[in-house]
Structures are given as structure tokens and as C-alpha cells.
Structure 1
Amino acid sequence: MTVFVPVLIVLATFVAMEWVAWSSHKYIMHGFGWGWHRDHHEPHDKTFEKNDLYAVVGAAMSISMFMLGSDLVLGDAAWWPATFIGIGILLYGIVYTLVHDGLVHQRYFRWVPKRGYAKRLVQAHKLHHATIGKEGGVSFGFVFARDPAKLRAELKAQREAGIAVVRDSVGA
């Protein structure tokens, strides 16, 4: 096996994880899993949030893939691609932690980007937090951010349609 196939699996998994994160954020975290996610949308002075339990779920997904790929655990039943899927999930988790928790919410370091894609990520996620409660909202992804102007227009339409309650400070 060449190095190309494992690298392709890792990269494909990383990209697929943005879809997994977007859909689980929109339909689980802002749905039946709101109980864990709510404190992430509310002011607090705690170091940890219930929302951090979702990181544990992501870690369990990665660890499960490493186990499925390990002949130490499963012997001849091991499935070799699982190891590289586990690496892709792990890398996405690291990037998520640095971008979402670090850059956007500044839980680990303080840096406010003035331009470029990092600024776009921060703006998009702040627009996600512009709604009050779990209904409506925009920008459910974490690594790939849409144009903030389009997100503002979408928030404005949601507010006008009565789908979402939008904080006044975002200009939607």
C-alpha cells in the first residue's frame, strides 16, 4: 500500500467531519441535544461547559476507529482503513479545538484577526451566536465559513419570518 491511499482517507475524513459537525450541530445540538449545548450560547464564567461533552463524543468516535483498525484489539478482524479514519477525526478535533474554542471563543489564547479567513471564521461564528435560543440560526459548521454578508441576510430573513429571535447588536 502506498502512502497515497492512507493520506487520501485522512483528508477525506477531515472534510467529511465538517459535514458531520454541521449536521450534528444543526440537528442534534440545536435539537434534542440542546441540554448539553445551551450553556455554550449563554454567558457564564465556568472553565468547562456541558457543551464540552460533545468533544468527548468526538474523541470516542476517533478512539473507536483506532480500535477497529488495531490488530491488537481485533486481531485478524481489524479493518486497516479505520486507523486512518481515526486520524482524520482526531485532526479535525484538534483543528476544531484551536479554531472554535481557541480563536473564536478565546478559551486558550487571545488573538483577534483583522483580515483573511480567520476573521471570516470569527465573524461567521459570532453570527451563529446572534440568535437567542435554539431556533433558527446560521453558520453551523466550524472550519468552513460562509460569507458573513450572506449570513446576515439569512438572519434578517429568519427574523422577519419569525423563525429566529436575533439579538439587536448584529445588524441583521
Structure 2
Amino acid sequence: MPVPPLLFVRHVPSPIGTIQLTSTENHLVRASFLENGPETDSPVSPPCLTQAATQLEEYFAGNRQTFNIPLLAQGTPFQQQVWQALQQIPAGRTDHYLGLAKRMGNAGAVRAVGAANGANPWLVLVPCHRVVGAQGQLTGYAGGLWRKQWLLEHEAKMIGTYQTALF
């Protein structure tokens, strides 16, 4: 039986709550909002964890629109395909589930795209918040709809397309 990899944890404060980063020695495994619980960082922070924290800080400061962090994708091949497609949506832009499914070459996979989007383990870093409903309405987000709206407005400000109402 294989030994599970050692995991490291680091917390990053943000304007919309603490983000808990979890990594192996070489890859980021998860980025999620910490709602409750202790914010205890690992005594050692591997380079990938430090890199993720730095890039998130730059993003929230308005100085970064994309992320280049080694991710450990533990999902089905389809989920991994969706997560790759999410990374192609530029900051300040949105797509919808049908648009994403069509770009992936399978318009009939709308529900599966939605499920894979919801299973994204790297909130903010793999921008599932950029996927909205077909009519532009905010739809589910594991971090909460208020965070999704904040992230979309933050990105619109970064690229200079901010409006008083996005939807």
C-alpha cells in the first residue's frame, strides 16, 4: 500500500476571508476558504506553497491576473479537462456552462461541466468563479455567491472594465 504524501498547510489572508492552501512537497493540492477553525501553518513551507501564497497576495493587490503554480490534479480525466478550460477564461471575463461545454467540443455535457466546475479544488487559482449562468446570473460557488461577485468585480477593476452592476 503506497504511503500518502506529506501535506503542508499555509493560510493567506484576503479581503474576502482566509484562504487555506494545502500542498505536497511539489504541488498545490487545494485552495479553499477557511470558514472556521485554527489557522495553523506548517512549520515548513515548500516552494510551491510559498509561490501560491505570493501569487494570491499579488492577485488581491490587483497586480496579477493569472496563476502559474504546479497543481496536483486528482480528478477524472473529464474534470481535469474542465479545470484546464477554466484556466483559459481571462480575468475580467465570464463564460457560462454551455459555452464551456461547447469549447470543450461537447455541448451535451453542460451538467457534467457544471459538476466538474463545482468539484474544482483550487478556488480563485483555477477561476471557476468566472462561470456564470446562461443569462449572466450568478450561480453556485463553493466560497459563496458574495465572494464570487467580489472576485468578478475585483477582476473587472483590474482590467478597467468595472461597472456599477455586473448583472
TM-score by length of 1: 0.31
Q: What is the TM-score normalised by the length of structure 2?
A: 0.32
Kindly indicate which of the two structures has a greater share of residues assigned to strand.
Answer: 2
Higher helix share: 1
Report which of the two structures shows the higher radius of gyration computed on alpha carbons: 1
